[in-house]
A and B are shown apart, each in its own frame.
Chain A
Amino acid sequence: MPGTIDTLATVECNDLIESVSTRSYGQLRLRLDRQIPVLPGQFAMIKPHGHYEPLLRRAMAYYRCGLGKKSLSVDFIYQILGRGTQMLAKLKAGDEVDFLGSLGNTFYIEAAHRHEALLVAGGVGSAALFMLAEELVRCKIPTKLFIGGAGRGDLCGLGDFISLLSSDQVISATMDGSYGEKGFVTVPFEKHLQSRRGEPMIIYACGPDPMLHRVSQIADQFAVPAQLSLESPMACGFGICVGCAVAVKAESPVGFIYKKVCTDGPVFWSNELHW
């Protein structure tokens, strides 16, 4: 079975969700007539078929997947920001989508055995963590989610996470205080690490760069390993444009080399990264 295919997928549903923070999101389900491996942390490059404005496909993390008899359905959650995601928001059931996937590496789940897994999600970054949470639960690894956003409506996938992990394992924080603690999600996250100092833990995080940077500092401080799922502008998603560079520590005159987020990542160990 090939890992990466370029194919047409069909829209099954595309539900728009508005948040009081004035941000909007969409949840898109695509059906593929073929089955390919879909791993937690991986992503696809998608855009409405036949549309060339914008030109480039957009990288979207797999949120969830389901196997049919011969088909595969994959869900994405996208935040409606610029031209690409505005085009995605116009998709209707039955429309065709250019789909290139599966792309990228996966979270290193083996490292979580006999550890408590702490997931940290910021905004739409939670989308990249749901399949990971499902896999951790399947492996019977105690899992907690710290999820943050501007307001209640920006905690993407909150309901699904609560059903999966139970509400006492989901700690929320919002900037407007409309749900959970008021402020950055990294605050309750840091408190938790403090209270469990010395216990075996592993961190998995996805969200905006400033949040990831803070998570990586906290991980360092408590000497807890952390895997971060990164974003970067991508033209191709499969390793040929070298647009998605991220600086990774290495023995070189400048102390780092550039790796590709699309094929070397998107998941990196936080201590590999040259911030």
Chain B
Amino acid sequence: MNNNPQSAIRNPQSDLLSVEIAGIRFNNPVLTASGTCGYGLDMAELIDLNKLGGVCTKGLSTRPLGGNAPWRIVETHGGMLNAIGLQNIGARAFVEEKLPELRRYDTRIIPNVFGYTVEEYIEAIEILEDGEGIDGYELNISCPNVKAGGESFANDARQAAEVTAAVKRAARRPVIVKLSPNVTDIAVIARSVEDAGADALSLINTAVGMSIDINTRRPRLANVTGGLSGPAIKPIAVRCVFQAFRAVKIPLMGIGGIATVEDALEFIIAGALAIQVGTANFYDPSASMKIIDGLADYCRRNGLENIGALVGTVELNH
């Protein structure tokens, strides 16, 4: 670690916090996570988007999707389950209706993309390739692959690699692949996605969960199961980042229950070069802003010239 308190104190926040991931330069390593900030603009009244490192949009598909029947969300201890059903306006409407306004902000724009077949991913990417001001893509591979028995792409190293390689061939922009924690060995999936050409990884997506109303004996979510997010999943996410950091060379974005600067630092020390704030946006919309200021303070206090010096510095020797 490069410890030089004198120069760090003089460094402006931009030098302390700017990071490069997959060739994309972020003003700082704090993004808002897919599905927890709408299309970015929805947050503009409450936070300064210019201050944010980047925005991962709600998952986009080739065509608009209506989503699941209610109830779609249920609060659990330290987190929430959601089964939104990937409701979105579609890649075309994003490019035409949201992007022109979003690119007026000084923040990196990362559309999150999904499909139910490899072809659908490619189609969505092709639509987005027309969009001006997009910096890269994040692939949500936690969807069921309907052509391969409905098992999620993310759960199978071969399918995860297949969709990654296909998207890499179609996209001229960097591709960040988002991994699911619902796998036996995340290192295996991480490696196979890296080998398939991914420029970076983001992890984790939600953990599959369920909640039952004991009076009606019905599942609380209309969809029966849903994705668990929030502080409850943070230790799982930190562990996944830690394991992936040891398995691959490409940069990592840490996601899962991050609400404070301490949470963010934990992920960075485990191996993440950037972090995404998800569920916290719901109950503390300015969480990302506080984390950015907190990271700069941490760098100054600890004499770090850039936050990157902290990545993966977890100390394993007692």
Q: Given A240-B43, A257-B66, A258-B67, do A56 and B282 touch, yes or no (CB 8 Å)?
A: yes
Contact B84 A238 (CB under 8 A): no
Q: Which residue of B lies closest to A52 (CB)?
A: B231
Q: Which of B46, B69, B70, B282 contacts A235 (CB 8 A)?
A: B282
Contact B283 A57 (CB under 8 A): yes
Contact A241 B77 (CB under 8 A): no
- Interface with A: B34-42, B123-131, B293-301, which one? B34-42
**B283 — which chain A residues lie within 8 A by C-beta?**
47, 55-57, 98, 235-236
Q: Provide the bound-state CA to CA distance between A86 and B74, in Å.
A: 17
- Which residues 231-250 in A have Cβ within 8 Å of B in the complex? 232-236, 238-247
Contact A6 B46 (CB under 8 A): yes
Mask: chain A, 1-17; 1 = CB below 8 Å from B; 0 = not: 01110100000000000
Q: Which of B67, B279, B284 contacts A242 (CB 8 A)?
A: B67
Q: Provide the bound-state CA to CA distance between A56 and B283, in Å.
A: 5
B contact face: mostly helix, strand, loop, or mixed: loop
* Least CB distance, A58 to chain B, in whole angstroms: 10
Q: Provide the bound-state CA to CA distance between A247 and B99, in Å.
A: 27
Q: Which of B71, B87, B282 contacts A240 (CB 8 A)?
A: B282
Q: Provide the bound-state CA to CA distance between A135 and B283, in Å.
A: 31
Contact B75 A56 (CB under 8 A): yes
Q: Given A239-B38, A241-B282, do A55 and B231 touch, yes or no (CB 8 Å)?
A: yes
Q: Provide the bound-state CA to CA distance between A54 and B284, in Å.
A: 13
Q: Which residue of A lies closest to B72 (CB)?
A: A243
Q: Provide the bound-state CA to CA distance between A239 and B40, in Å.
A: 11
Q: Provide the bound-state CA to CA distance between A83 and B78, in Å.
A: 12
In the complex, how many residue pairs between chain A and chain B have their CB atoms under 8 Å apart? 97
Q: Provide the bound-state CA to CA distance between A252 and B65, in Å.
A: 11
* Least CB distance, A261 to chain B, in whole angstroms: 9
**B281 — which chain A residues lie within 8 A by C-beta?**
236, 240
Q: Is B73 an interface residue (CB 8 A)?
A: yes
Q: Is B45 an interface residue (CB 8 A)?
A: yes
- Which residues 24-67 in B have Cβ within 8 Å of A in the complex? 35-38, 42-43, 45-46, 58, 66-67
Q: Is B80 an interface residue (CB 8 A)?
A: yes
- Which residues 33-87 in A have Cβ within 8 Å of B in the complex? 47, 52-57, 83
Q: Which of B35, B70, B80 contacts A56 (CB 8 A)?
A: B80
Tier of interface size on chain A: 20 to 34
Q: Is B312 an interface residue (CB 8 A)?
A: no
Q: Which residue of B lies closest to A235 (CB)?
A: B282
- Which residues 177-202 in A have Cβ within 8 Å of B in the complex? none
Contact A235 B66 (CB under 8 A): no
**A173 — which chain B residues lie within 8 A by C-beta?**
none
Contact A242 B87 (CB under 8 A): yes
**A247 — which chain B residues lie within 8 A by C-beta?**
69
**A239 — which chain B residues lie within 8 A by C-beta?**
38, 42
Q: Is B82 an interface residue (CB 8 A)?
A: yes
**A258 — which chain B residues lie within 8 A by C-beta?**
66-67, 87
**B303 — which chain A residues lie within 8 A by C-beta?**
none
* Least CB distance, B288 to chain A, in whole angstroms: 12
Q: Is B230 an interface residue (CB 8 A)?
A: yes
* Least CB distance, B212 to chain A, in whole angstroms: 15
**A98 — which chain B residues lie within 8 A by C-beta?**
283-284
Q: Provide the bound-state CA to CA distance between A16 and B177, in Å.
A: 51
**A4 — which chain B residues lie within 8 A by C-beta?**
45-46
Q: Which of A3, A53, A57, A242 contacts B77 (CB 8 A)?
A: A53
**B43 — which chain A residues lie within 8 A by C-beta?**
240
Mask: chain B, 98-139; 1 = CB below 8 Å from A; 0 = not: 000000000000000000000000000000000000000000
Pairs A–B under 8 Å by Cβ, sample size 24: A4-B46, A47-B283, A52-B231, A52-B259, A54-B75, A55-B75, A57-B283, A98-B283, A100-B285, A233-B70, A233-B73, A235-B73, A235-B282, A238-B285, A240-B37, A240-B43, A241-B82, A242-B35, A242-B84, A242-B87, A243-B73, A244-B72, A245-B68, A254-B66
Q: A240-B282, A245-B72 are in contact. List 15 more A-B contacts (CB 8 A).
A: A6-B46, A52-B78, A53-B78, A55-B230, A100-B46, A100-B285, A232-B70, A240-B36, A240-B37, A241-B84, A242-B67, A242-B87, A243-B82, A245-B70, A257-B66
Closest 9 CB pairs of A and B: A243-B73, A236-B282, A240-B38, A235-B282, A240-B42, A243-B72, A239-B42, A245-B70, A242-B84
